[in-house]
Copies of this chain bind each other. A is one copy, B any other.
Amino acid sequence: MMKERKILLSESDIPDKWYNIVADMPNKPLPPLHPVTREPIGPEALGGLFPEELVRQEVTMDRWVDIPDEVRNIYSIWRPTPMYRAYGLEKALDTPAKIYYKYEGVSPSGSHKPNTAVPQAYYNKQAGVKRITTETGAGQWGSALSFACQHFDIECEVYMVRLSYDHKPYRKIMMNTWGAKVFPSPSEATEVGRKILAENPNTTGSLGIAISEAIERATSTPNTKYALGSVLNHVKLHQTIIGLEAIKQMEKAGDMPDIVIAPFGGGSNFAGLAFPFLRLNMVEGRNIRCIASEPTSCPKLTKGVFRYDFGDTVGMTPLLPMYTLGHNFVPAPIHAGGLRYHGAGVIVSQLLRDQLIEATSHDNLEVFEAGITFARAEGIIPAPEATHGIATAIREAQKCKEEGTSKTILFNLCGHGNFDMKAYEDYFAGKIVKHELTDEDIQKSLSQLDTPIIPDR
């Protein structure tokens, strides 16, 4: 008799509520501060950028937030996503551990990003918004938002870092296929862009510039709003659909994880899988370890400090209480572009501060080795971001082998690598190197901060 690899749910099992962990947190996040006055600010500061319902979700204390039927209907294109028992990986590692993964790469754009893109597009549509602007680096978020806007007949304008626009054209074409307009950033479409181009016509752009362009368009054009793909509370809220499904699937498998693992960029991927399991810890007294996996080249959780910092590099956003390497920190150009962010989202930072979650880091070489081990054992070629979660799972499974214990490990396979084969090409060509980042480098970045410090309790 064959052992079943996949734990599948039916569409009627798609959760009808997202989980808001803030309701259960012992210490609520500190308030954001105005970037200039440095006084606490409320949700009204976000009203120009986002529709009212998303601003409400950003600050809500409600434990559960209803998922509209229209959103669940579009979710049903790819949700519920499958959970796999990783028999192949277990065998390859010769470990007594039981390994499961939740596979978010089955979405049309190939990652977990549409989980929030769809409701963001929906609430904008409800608010009468005609156009949404955003920035994208490698293109995961931009393609997810393009897909979502298409379904609600909203115009989507994506400012894509010129370096990616020129070197990774396929994500751009994907966005075009779903009807989005994609501009290489800096562009002629905005004042910010024109100014930068006038000064430096050959600039390759940056995510910071792209954000500025998207925000300028959103705030200066009628019926236009802005959308962000990670970091913010409402984004994390939407991603909890992952963990809520995963709990049902673990129950169906007659199992429950001892360890839950997810890659960490801004936090939405990790939050999505881990928050519903953290609820079981806080409400039912369980003791599930939730581990965030970050690259050693961008170690905000494992080597950063907890203090107020800007969300962007220019210093225009509100000051947020978070683990940060400093908003001027420039990570090495690793292929896991989605993890190259200087700070951690507010909720996740507070949870780490309160020791309710753990964090670990992996070197660039280790994650590619983990990714290839996984691809050969399980078939699916993972995105470079996703390899970080795999690396942590392998490390924990190897510990089980050494200790002779059988733990149950669940990780978030947040996306496939079909658009990242250049990264694997570089690996096979020996071009992937360890990015040494010294404590001095980190101290140098942090020493430039003059933002408010948060005292130890």
Q: Which of A56-64, A172-180, A338-346, A431-439 contacts B (4 or more CB under 8 A)?
A: A172-180
Beta-carbon nearest neighbor of A150 in chain B: B376
In terms of DSSP, what is the predominant structure of the interface of chain A? helix
Please tell me if the beta carbons of A4 and B76 are within 8 angstroms of each other in the complex.
Answer: yes
Max chain B CB contacts within 10 Å: which of A78, A179, A379, A419? A379
Within 8 A of B (CB), among A173-193: 173-174, 176-179
Please tell me if the beta carbons of A10 and B4 are within 8 angstroms of each other in the complex.
Answer: yes
| Count of identical protomers in the assembly | 2
Task: Return chain B residues, CB-CB under 8 Å to A380.
Answer: 108
Beta-carbon nearest neighbor of A11 in chain B: B4
What per-residue 1/0 map shows which CB atoms of A400-434 lie under 8 Å from chain B?
00000000000000000011011011001000000
CA gap between A110 and B381 in the complex, in Å:
11
Please tell me if the beta carbons of A8 and B5 are within 8 angstroms of each other in the complex.
Answer: no
Please tell me if the beta carbons of B12 and A108 are within 8 angstroms of each other in the complex.
Answer: no
Please tell me if the beta carbons of A2 and B73 are within 8 angstroms of each other in the complex.
Answer: yes
Please tell me if the beta carbons of B178 and A418 are within 8 angstroms of each other in the complex.
Answer: no
CA gap between A380 and B381 in the complex, in Å:
19
Beta-carbon nearest neighbor of A74 in chain B: B379
Beta-carbon nearest neighbor of A423 in chain B: B173
Beta-carbon nearest neighbor of A428 in chain B: B176
Please tell me if the beta carbons of A381 and B108 are within 8 angstroms of each other in the complex.
Answer: yes
Task: Return chain B residues, CB-CB under 8 Å to A6.
Answer: 11, 76
CA gap between A12 and B1 in the complex, in Å:
9
A275 proximal to B (CB < 8 A): no
A453 proximal to B (CB < 8 A): no
Q: How far is the CB of A156 from chain B (nearest CB, A)?
A: 12
What per-residue 1/0 map shows which CB atoms of A1-43 lie under 8 Å from chain B?
0101110101110000000000000000000000000000000
Please tell me if the beta carbons of B78 and A379 are within 8 angstroms of each other in the complex.
Answer: yes
Interface size on A, residues (CB 8 A): 42
Task: Return chain B residues, CB-CB under 8 Å to A308.
Answer: none
Please tell me if the beta carbons of B424 and A176 are within 8 angstroms of each other in the complex.
Answer: yes
Q: Which of B5, B10, B106, B425 contacts A77 (CB 8 A)?
A: B5
A66 proximal to B (CB < 8 A): no
Task: Return chain B residues, CB-CB under 8 Å to A73.
Answer: 2
Q: Which of B2, B177, B424 contacts A69 (CB 8 A)?
A: B2
Within 8 A of B (CB), among A344-401: 372, 375-376, 378-381
Q: How far is the CB of A426 from chain B (nearest CB, A)?
A: 9
Within 8 A of B (CB), among A53-91: 69, 72-73, 76-78
**Given A418-B419, A421-B173, A424-B173: A376 and B178 interface contact (C-beta under 8 Å):** yes
CA gap between A72 and B4 in the complex, in Å:
11
CA gap between A424 and B5 in the complex, in Å:
35
Please tell me if the beta carbons of A147 and B379 are within 8 angstroms of each other in the complex.
Answer: yes
A169 proximal to B (CB < 8 A): yes
Q: Which of B10, B170, B379 contacts A421 (CB 8 A)?
A: B170
Please tell me if the beta carbons of B173 and A425 are within 8 angstroms of each other in the complex.
Answer: yes
**Given A77-B378, A376-B178, A376-B179: A2 and B72 interface contact (C-beta under 8 Å):** yes
CA gap between A379 and B78 in the complex, in Å:
9
CA gap between A421 and B171 in the complex, in Å:
8
Q: Which of B72, B77, B428 contacts A173 (CB 8 A)?
A: B428
Beta-carbon nearest neighbor of A148 in chain B: B379
Beta-carbon nearest neighbor of A380 in chain B: B108
Please tell me if the beta carbons of A106 and B108 are within 8 angstroms of each other in the complex.
Answer: no
17 A-B pairs (CB sep. < 8 Å): A2-B11, A2-B76, A4-B10, A4-B12, A5-B11, A77-B378, A78-B379, A108-B379, A151-B379, A169-B425, A173-B421, A173-B424, A173-B425, A176-B424, A176-B428, A177-B381, A177-B424
10 closest Cβ pairs, A-B complex:
A170-B421, A108-B379, A418-B418, A173-B421, A173-B425, A77-B379, A4-B11, A5-B76, A173-B424, A177-B375
Instruction: A77-B379, A108-B380, A170-B421 given; name 15 further pairs at CB < 8 Å.
Output: A2-B11, A4-B10, A4-B76, A6-B11, A8-B10, A78-B379, A150-B376, A169-B421, A173-B421, A173-B428, A174-B424, A176-B428, A177-B372, A177-B381, A179-B376
